[in-house]
Amino acid sequence: MSSMKLSYSLGSLLSVNELLLCAKKTSYAKPEAVWVPETWGMENFSMLSAISQNTSSKIGSSIINIFSRSPALIAMGAATVDTISEQRLILGLGTSSVPIVEGLHGYKFEKPLTRMREYIEIIRLVLSGKKIDYSGKIFQLRGFSLLIKPPRQDIPIYIAAINEKMVELAWEVADGTIFYLRPISEMKQTIARMQKKRVLDVACQFITSVSDDEEVAMERARKTLAFYVSVGEIYRKFLAKNGFRKETDAIFQEYQKSGLKQNYQIVTDRMLESLTICGTPEKCRAQIRTVYEAGITHPIIQFNPTGNVAESFDLFLKTFSDVN
């Protein structure tokens, strides 16, 4: 499996300082990339700049949403971080979700597909250094060119894709795609079908929890999965359509009644097996092999700590470091 990529995602369950510490520790494991999400906590570009000083791996945004920053500002951020990191940035873009776009940022969540296409066109135009003269359905831009010279014009752009049209757009215009919370059997079929059109780097982020005590790891994974099913309508609908209707309905109904306190207990073992990587180190290594067999070229394992963060991360690194 030497040519297989493996990346780590250091996410929202960590503080800024914990994330910096974990990024430093990844150095000996030499992952393909260290990815940082952006939700309603730490700001992405500043974190990526900081961790680029702590690791020699590539660094990725998973994801920068295409509503809270203008396309030109994302291009400026990407050019800046790519300069600071010496050309190691992977720019992951996504639409995010209605609660974040409307509830946190106060923008209308509309025309996500058209918007994504225009964002990518504008970002590439800005990074080319040419004068911007852009006329789209959403954006009309005139008369600027980037003041700094980006070290490269072709910063790889990955699209976080859930629904079919966004998946198709990724294969049409992006350098890679980022999947999340998709049943492994569904991904196998989708990837096989899409890779016939054009071969892309297929990244997929997995909720990952490792512990010597299997129950502890599974409970942590259940809690994270229940959270996404509860608050992420787009994931809930996708999973309902792809074999998990009964489970997602039950998890969501319990969430509406009592919040997140106990609804994780409804998450079934079948869901964990199909959607996450969790359990003992041995079991997690076996699961990652299944992931590669499904056609995923670039698994991104999302660190979900159990107990002490530093100790938990050491076990996490040790578990996967020999995989790539």
CA 316 and chain centroid, separation:
18
pTM, whole model, 2 decimals? 0.96
- All structural domains of the chain, each given as residue ranges with its CATH number in brackets, are 7-320 (3.20.20.30)
Q: pLDDT tens across 187-224, in order?
A: 999 999 999 999 999 999 999 999 999 999 999 999 99
Please say whether the beta carbons of 65 and 94 come within 8 A: yes
Encode burial over 104-135: b for 16+ CB neighbours within 10 A, e otherwise: eeeeebeebeebbbbbbebbbbbbeeeebebe
Q: pLDDT tens across 252-309, in order?
A: 999 999 999 999 999 999 999 999 999 999 999 999 999 999 999 999 999 999 999 9
Q: pLDDT tens across 114-165, in order?
A: 999 999 999 999 999 999 999 999 999 999 999 999 999 999 999 999 999 9
Pairing of β 298-303 and β 201-210? parallel
Helix (H) or strand (E) run with residue 105 in it: none
